[in-house]
Structure 1
Amino acid sequence: MPTHSDIPRTGAPRLRKPNATDGAAIWELVKDCKPLDENSMYCNLVQADHFRDTCIVAQLDGDIIGWISGHMIPDQNALFVWQVAVSAKARGMGLGKKMLLDLIERDVCDGATHLKTTITRDNAASWALFRGFARHIGGELTDEPHFTRDVHFEGRHDTEHMVSITIPSARDLKRAA
């Protein structure tokens, strides 16, 4: 008898806002996406519930195969992307970029002039995703050390670089899509 992972997948992933009931599946996905930092299941549940307007899940055949957690930074016109997770079985589909595009096109992000995220220097997949995303939308990408190894992490975590991507106007975005 075939296992769930052996069943052929059909169609394209559906992008949607998460629900609190997605918290456990999101937590499992993040755990499977090294080198992402694992949060508690409760943290992912709260993100899916309280920040659902600035978070997104990709679902295919009943499984959550993609997740982005984010929030609007208070007193800034910026969407901060905390984590991007794409299941190994969904990589190579451009899902990360599709989820980012969906997020910046939401009404709640209308005032965002920048997308920001932090990335360690050794996270090649994240750098590739965000550089490709910036090129795709015609945005400028800059970065600088933000949370540093010695000052913020007491030597226990690599420096996180703040990446900032300008978000073009809605009219220019439609041309990029």
Structure 2
Amino acid sequence: MTAAQAALAGADREFLGMPEGLELDAPRVEDGAVIWRIARDSKVLDLNSSYSYLLWCRDFAATSVVARDGQGEPVGFVTGYIRPERPQTLVVWQVAVDHAQRGRGLAGALLDGLTARVADELDVHRVETTITPDNTASNRLFTSFAERHGAAVQREVLFHGGLFPDGGHEPEVLYRIGPLAATAATR
């Protein structure tokens, strides 16, 4: 077990909202294909190449998390990375939950578990993500995350739709959340 896996194993017991029968874990390379399928099946996320999900599980496992069911299969994930010029900021790239697990609070538990780990291990105090204006679920997820952690939310358009070469893309609104007042690791 890696240090990240051990930290998550302890963190998931501290979250009252973690759905029964699921546990937090760091992603492994062999999870890349399942994570890609969950992202594809979400019908909301911009789908990256399957290769990129394999790389993400290898190179960014310390700043990402999966939820595993009783058989050890991923049923949800959060991918993230640390901003090079802002090392106390976790950028959340994607959040997705398998259709069968939706409505159980899993996305929030994944986000809480990941931020608790990176706050403890990497001294992260802020979260950034981008959300398109039409993504109501993500807006709610990150707004409620900020409320739980006593953090302010600043919003501004990061990339307007015209910057995307494929046309018809909604603007990406940057959410800056922080500083985080409390995480499971510090409670």
**Greater helix fraction, Structure 1 or Structure 2:** 2
Percent identity of equivalent pairs: 34
Could you tell me which of 95, 99, 116 is aligned with 2:106? 95
Task: State the Cα RMSD in Å.
Answer: 2.0
1:162 maps to a residue whose letter is L
Aligned residue pairs total 165
2:52 maps to a residue whose letter is C
Identify the structure with bigger relative contact order (alpha carbons < 8 Å, sequence gap 6+): 2
2:98 maps to a residue whose letter is S
Distance 1:174 1:105 in 2: 5
Could you tell me which of 83, 86, 92 is aligned with 1:73? 83
Alpha carbons 1:136, 1:176 under 8 Å: kept? no
Query: Which segments of structure 1 move beyond 4 Å, counting only runs of 4 or more?
Result: 174-177
Which sections of structure 1, spanning at least 5 residues, go unmatched? 1-9
Query: Which deviations, in whole Å up to 9, do the C-alpha atoms of 1:56-95 show, x marking residues without a partner?
Result: 1101133311011100000202100000001111111111
Verify: 1:165 aligned to 2:174, yes or no: no
Verify: 1:83 aligned to 2:94, yes or no: yes
Please report the TM-score for the alignment, with normalisation by the length of structure 2.
Answer: 0.81
- Say which one has the larger Rg: 1
Distance 2:118 2:74 in 1: 23
State the secondary structure of the residue aligned to 2:183: helix
**Structure 1 residue 11 displacement after superposition:** 4.2
Q: 1:138 to 1:64 in 2, by over 3 A?
A: same
**Structure 1 residue 143 displacement after superposition:** 0.7
Aligned to 1:7: none
**Structure 1 residue 110 displacement after superposition:** 3.6
Alpha carbons 2:115, 2:183 under 8 Å: kept? no
Which sections of structure 2, spanning at least 5 residues, go unmatched? 1-18
1:8-157 pair list within 5 angstroms: 11-62=20-71, 63-76=73-86, 77-107=88-118, 110-150=122-162, 152-154=163-165, 155-157=167-169
1:95 maps to a residue whose letter is L
